[in-house]
Amino acid sequence: MNTKKFFKTFITFTSLFIVIIAAILFGKFYYQDIGSGEKIQALDEYQRGSRRNILVMGTDKSGLRSDVMMVFSFSEKEKNINSVSIPRDTRINYGGGYQKINVALALGGEELAIQKVKEITGIPIHEYVKVNFQAVSDIVDAVGGVEFFVPQNMNYRDPYQDLVIDLDKGKQVLDGDKALQLLRFRQYPMGDLQRIEVQQDFIKEAFKQKAKVKYIAKAGKIYSAVEENINTSLSLSDVTKLAKTVKAKGVSAINSYELPTYMSQTGIYVRIDQNKIQSFVQEHFM
């Protein structure tokens, strides 16, 4: 097994199930090195003492559209993690017109996606992780599923995306396929903003349930699940520092915030509230 590739894979899941991966890193491979990760020009240089921001992109089956975009902000000083989701329908300027941010990967890869997140929010991005949703499904299966309260009946079919969602409301153990259905469902009364809230709740619940040493034994299976579905700029030394932040306080150190946005008059795009975004970023992501 290629050690460098192994850890690049685990870095992705650190952004989603960071407590599990922290346990793996500290328990078995803490002193090994995997290199410097995959750096690209759009990334900002991290300044010691400031928050370290990681853009996590969960893609659809094609790997070209980002169904989920979240920024995780780590502070070694405050020993906490702040997170915010960027609605997939957020408007960006591109080619003399407008596009939704979820197509930035298709238009210009990770470079353009990072540039546009920085452009519309003002959040500096120091690292990135791109993971195909299939990897998330496989990982949830590898750790035995996640118990979660599904907030409403979820029924949706899209043959163009090969997407079938069929979940009943109520508390249940979600396997990988059902977890993926939950994360991708969009038909909420409050639209994408409610979808973001459900995604964040699921991530927190997964942290709470799976932050246990016994999951170290799942390392090989998790690796097999995601090795072909990751691109990231993070290295092992990066991960160990971030893992220490989480290890110090656990899941209580994760804070979720809502990006200040509003719907455009046409109802097509989500717009960033320019009157509020600067103070929001300064308070939580700088």
Determine whether domain 3-284 maps to CATH 3.40.630.190: yes
**For the whole prediction, is pTM greater than 0.85?**
no
Would you list the domain boundaries of the chain?
Answer: 3-284
Q: What is the 3-state secondary structure (H, E, C) of the chain?
A: CCHHHHHHHHHHHHHHHHHHHHHHHHHHCCCCCCCCCCCCCCCCCCCCCCCEEEEEEEECCCCCCEEEEEEEEEECCCCEEEEEECCCCEEEEECCEEEEHHHHHHHHHHHHHHHHHHHHHCCCCCEEEEEEHHHHHHHHHHCCCEEEEECCCEEEEECCCCEEEEECCEEEEECHHHHHHHHHCCCCCCCHHHHHHHHHHHHHHHHHHHCCHHHHHHHHHHHHHHCCCEEECCCHHHHHHHHHHHHHHHHHHEEEECCCEEECCCCCCEEECCCCHHHHHHHHCC
The per-residue pLDDT string of the chain (286 residues; one tens digit each, 9 = 90 and over) reads: 343 443 443 333 443 444 334 333 333 333 333 334 567 899 999 888 889 898 988 887 777 788 789 898 888 777 778 889 899 899 999 999 999 999 999 999 999 999 999 999 999 999 888 878 777 787 788 778 999 999 999 999 987 777 899 999 999 999 999 998 998 898 888 877 788 888 878 877 887 787 665 655 555 555 555 556 677 787 656 665 665 655 565 545 678 898 999 999 888 999 999 999 999 999 999 9
